A and B are shown apart, each in its own frame.
Chain A
Amino acid sequence: MRQEDISEIWFEHEGTPLKWHYPIGLLFDLLASSSALPWNITVHFKGFPEKDLLHCPSKDTIEAHFMSCVKEADALKHKSQVINEMQKKDHKQLWMGLHNDRFDQFWAINRKLMEYPAEESGFRYIPFRIYQTTTERPFIQKLFRPVATDGQLHTLGDLLKEVCPSVIAPEDGERKNQVMIHGIEPMLETPLQWLSEHLSYPDNFLHISIIPQPTD
């Protein structure tokens, strides 16, 4: 290709432009979970789909987007108190830890985002997004507390029943969908607070994919 023909890079899988601002694992679960690894995607240097994808002019854009998600998650968990109390260098450390794949560096800061007051049983609200390819809407995100008024911990099943009941409504007892996080199907009885603390993505969100049961 000639230099002058090359414009912004973008990625695509079976006709679907891939959103760079979504975690790669989420994209795989949502679009290609039945594929064998390595996941083959197509790289484009022309014809950037303006209507579908955000522009990513530099690495700073990725950092800004990541930090924006972390901040939003903390708004839900702690009314932004924990993230706002941190210094700029702590925010930088969080990003650099992710960028350089430094687990300890990342968790030195992230563990503070996973704490909650001793008198509480969990976060204020759980940061989550539920994705389905069958809907026009990109994801479902609502306010949902980890603990019920009677003190019982809400489960993954409770969350789904509340925000997308059609997913696990057993019409003939057989579930039509898989509920997937990080490529696995957690039991619906798992407490949501536990999932949020241990199975969140680096941006502190639980990204949950609802995909049709594989037909083999």
Chain B
Amino acid sequence: MEEDEFFGEKTFQHYCAEFIKHSQQIGDGWEWRTSKDCSDGYMCKIHFQIKNGTVVSHPGTSAHVQTCLLMEEALELPLDDSEVTEAAAATEVIKYEYHVLYSCSYQVPVLYFRASFLDGRPLSLKDIWEGVHECYKMRLQQGPWDTITQQEHPILGQPFFVLHPCKTNEFMTPVLKNSRKINRNVNYITSWLSIVGPVVGLNLPLSYARAASQNE
């Protein structure tokens, strides 16, 4: 089977491995998951956010420990009558799940994500949309191919939200061209994720970029 055209699956896996190496160093929570009946896999990260917008994260801890710490914080709130409503509002914790998969059709990475409350209730597209920063909304609404839609996750078969991949080459080509010009090493995944991630609430610490330029 043909590989490594512009950005083949092996190249994708290589950049993901480098990315995860750094994630482990700073405790950013990214993991690699493989599909049971195939050699392919994807990167996965879970983070929690209190609905009023404060991202709670505890660098250096696993996702499991993060959940426990979060619940502790949430439960510490006093529950006497006058404060019950406040407590309820403050304990609206949302679990965000981000998956980075490879699309062999477009030969680019694709960002899948979903969000749910801790009791399992999923967030709707409308809720997700509310979480998108104003400055990205206009751009997303311009083209049907630049928007967020619900799609079936190709490995898990469950509904996820997706940023359509067909324009990825368009914005990645200048990034890669420029890095070649100034002779600097770039991790495709790091660059790509730093562009698409913030649109859906996923931010990358700057140390990823420094790590990428140090790699051979």
Contacts and interface: CB of A to CB of B under 8 A. Distances in A.
Interface of A: 19, 21, 50-55, 64-65, 67-68, 71-72, 75-76, 80, 125, 127, 135-145, 162
Interface stretch (B130-138, B156-164, B188-196): B156-164
Contact of A19 (B152, B153, B156): B152
Given A51-B158, A135-B36, A138-B156, 15 more contacts: A53-B159, A54-B150, A54-B152, A55-B124, A65-B149, A76-B105, A127-B105, A136-B35, A137-B36, A137-B157, A139-B154, A141-B105, A143-B2, A145-B2, A162-B1
A138 B157 CA distance: 5
Contacts of A80: 166
A48 to B, nearest CB: 10
B105 A137 contact: no
B197 interface: no
Contacts of A143: 1-2, 104
Contacts of A51: 122, 158-159
B173 to A, nearest CB: 14
Interface in B105-157: 105-106, 122, 124-125, 144-145, 149-157
What 5 pairs across the A-B complex have the smallest Cβ distances? A138-B157, A72-B105, A75-B105, A54-B150, A50-B122
Interface residues of B, number: 27
Interface of A is mostly: loop
A136 B36 CA distance: 8
20 contacts: A19-B152, A21-B152, A50-B159, A55-B150, A64-B149, A71-B166, A72-B105, A72-B106, A75-B105, A137-B35, A137-B154, A137-B155, A137-B157, A138-B152, A138-B154, A140-B38, A142-B104, A143-B2, A144-B1, A162-B1
A126 to B, nearest CB: 11
B37 interface: yes
Contacts of A136: 35-37, 156-157
Contact of B1 (A67, A68, A76, A142): A142
A208 B102 CA distance: 22
Given A21-B152, A75-B106, A137-B157, A68 B37 contact: no
Choose among A139, A141, A143, A162 the residue with the greatest number of B CB atoms under 10 Å from its CB. Answer: A143
Chain B CB within 10 Å — which of A51, A127, A139, A142 has the most? Answer: A51
A136 B124 CA distance: 25
Contacts of A64: 144, 149
B163 to A, nearest CB: 13
Contacts of B155: 137-138
Contacts of B152: 19, 21, 54, 138
A50 B159 CA distance: 8
A136 to B, nearest CB: 6
A197 B172 CA distance: 33
A85 to B, nearest CB: 15
| Among A52, A138, A141, A144: residue with most chain B CB under 10 A | A138
Nearest to A143: B104
Contacts of A65: 149
Nearest to B151: A54
A138 B37 CA distance: 11
Contacts of B150: 54-55
Nearest to B5: A143
B150 to A, nearest CB: 5
A135 B122 CA distance: 25
Interface string B165-197: 010000000000000000000000000000000
A21 B125 CA distance: 17
